[in-house]
Structure 1
Amino acid sequence: MRALLAAAVGLAAAFALVLTVTAIGPPEGATSPRPLLTSVPAHP
C-alpha cells in the first residue's frame, strides 16, 4: 500500500511540474544563429 501511495505522490508531483512549465510558457529571447561546435573541425 505504501508503494502505491508513493507512486501516486510521485505522479502528482510530475503532473504539477508539467502544468507549471506549461503555464509559464517558453523563455523569452532568441537562439543564437551560430551553431555550437562540439569537436575540432577536421583539416582538409
Structure 2
Amino acid sequence: MRVLVAAATGLAVAFAVVLTLTAFGTPSGGTSPKPLLTTVPAHP
C-alpha cells in the first residue's frame, strides 16, 4: 500500500512541475541561423 501512495505522490509532483513550467510559457530565446555541421571538415 505504501508503494501505491509513493507512486501516486510522485506522479502528482511530476504533474505539478509540468503544469508550473507550462504556466510560465516558452522561454524568450532564438535559434542560431547557422546550420549545424554534421560532417568533419577535411584537414588541409
Task: Give the TM-score range, shorter chain.
Answer: 0.7 to 0.9
Q: 1:38 to 1:10 in 2, by over 3 A?
A: farther
Aligned length: 42
- 1:5 aligned residue: 5
Q: Offset of 1:38 from its aligned partner?
A: 5.0
Query: Structure 2 stretches of 5 or more lacking a match?
Result: none
- 2:37 aligned residue: 37
Instruction: Please give the TM-score of this superposition, normalised by the length of structure 2.
Output: 0.75
Query: Structure 1 stretches of 5 or more lacking a match?
Result: none
- The answer to whether 1:26 aligns with 2:15 is no
Q: Offset of 1:33 from its aligned partner?
A: 1.1
Aligned-CA RMSD value: 1.7
